[in-house]
Amino acid sequence: MKNFFKLLFLLSSTLFALENHSYIGGIAVINVGVFEEKPKIFYKAKEAKVIQKEESYFAIIGIGLDEKAGKRHIVAVTHNKKLDFYFQVHPKSYKKEFIKLKSNKRVTLSKVDLSRFHREKAKAKKVLGSFNKTLSSDLDFITPVHGRISSPFGKRRYFNNKPKAPHSGIDIAAKRETPILAAESGYVAISEEFFFNGNTIYIDHGEGVVTLYCHMSKCAAQEGDFVLKGDIIGYVGTTGRSTGPHLHFGVVLNSKSVDPRIFVKDYAGTKLSKSAFSQIGSEK
């Protein structure tokens, strides 16, 4: 009987992440049916995450902010089968913010800073493009820190009508030195002070799923550490290019940043606070 309840709990906790959010910046959950073995799923020639629920397998595809709405295609492959599946990506618009600057002058990085930035970018890209088969997450995350969302996912800023890259995560404003928890168990793939992102941790949860934590006052886990969901991995700070203490929390699937609120129950269905559009405690 005890096991029965345990099973019920597992199923209900897994169901959450299996909801379809097939829009730009969301995740597509595609039932690919029954296979004799766990199929490999490919989306745009890149391997994607698969979850098994009861008899069926589900492909979990991250849909980047750079995607366009329309019909998409995945392939499910086993040693003797290759099946095609199709799904629809729906449009979704995100907040825009127009900022007028007196001049078009940008902050120019020194040669040293620029090469540092490129080195960090390459390191991050390698982690986000990895596909670790030894780990698998049910995508049921906890919030790494409680606080109001000071900048939502996907917001695009325009400086003098020139678009900047959209916001790839959520900013959670919180008091300095508030402990930051691992949203899910996994390997610490990066623990480093980055030029723009300040003290940063990337956790690899396997199968192309990575969570990242930026602007921390300090990192409390080292590269190669295996952390459990809820372990302290750092503390809220305002390191890097940041306007006040907050955590930038990001979730990446198949190399695409998606809305972290899809995976964190605390945020599901909650309206963003009025202050979501203030500039306090977010990064530039």
Provide the binding-site residues for Zn ion, judged by CB under 5 A.
171, 248, 283
Q: What is the largest CA-CA distance in the chain?
A: 69
Smallest separation (angstroms) from Zn ion to the CB of 246: 7
Nearer to Zn ion, 45 or 107 (CB): 107
Tokens in use for 182?
A: 């691992």
- In the Cβ-directed half-sphere of 120, how many Cα atoms lie within 13 Å? 19
Give the other-Cβ count within 10 Å of 194's Cβ.
Answer: 21
Q: How far apart are CA 116 and CA 130, in angstroms?
A: 22
Question: Which residues partner with 42 through β-bridges?
Answer: 47, 75
What's the closest the beta carbon of residue 261 comes to Zn ion, in angstroms? 13
Nearer to Zn ion, 184 or 283 (CB): 283
- Judged by beta carbon, residue 82 or residue 284, the one nearer Zn ion is 284
CB 140, min distance to Zn ion, A: 23
Task: Return the number of the residue (49 or 246) whose C-beta is nearest Zn ion.
Answer: 246
Give whichever of 75 and 272 is closer to Zn ion, judged by the CB atom: 272
Q: What span, in angstroms and rounded, lies between the C-alpha atoms of 185 and 123?
A: 21
CB 186 within 8 A of CB 258: no
Report which of 21, 250, 262 is spatially closest to residue 128, judged by C-alpha positions: 250
Closest residue by beta carbon to Zn ion: 248
> Which runs of consecutive H residues, i.e. helices, occur in the chain?
2-17, 111-128
| DSSP designation for 14 | H
Kindly tell me which of 57 and 249 has the beta carbon lying closer to Zn ion. Answer: 249
**Distance (Å, rounded) from C-alpha 234 to C-alpha 45?**
35
> 140 vs 171, which CB is nearer to Zn ion?
171
Strands (E), 232-278: 232-235, 246-253, 256-258
Rounded to a whole number of angstroms, the minimum distance from the CB of residue 251 to Zn ion is 12
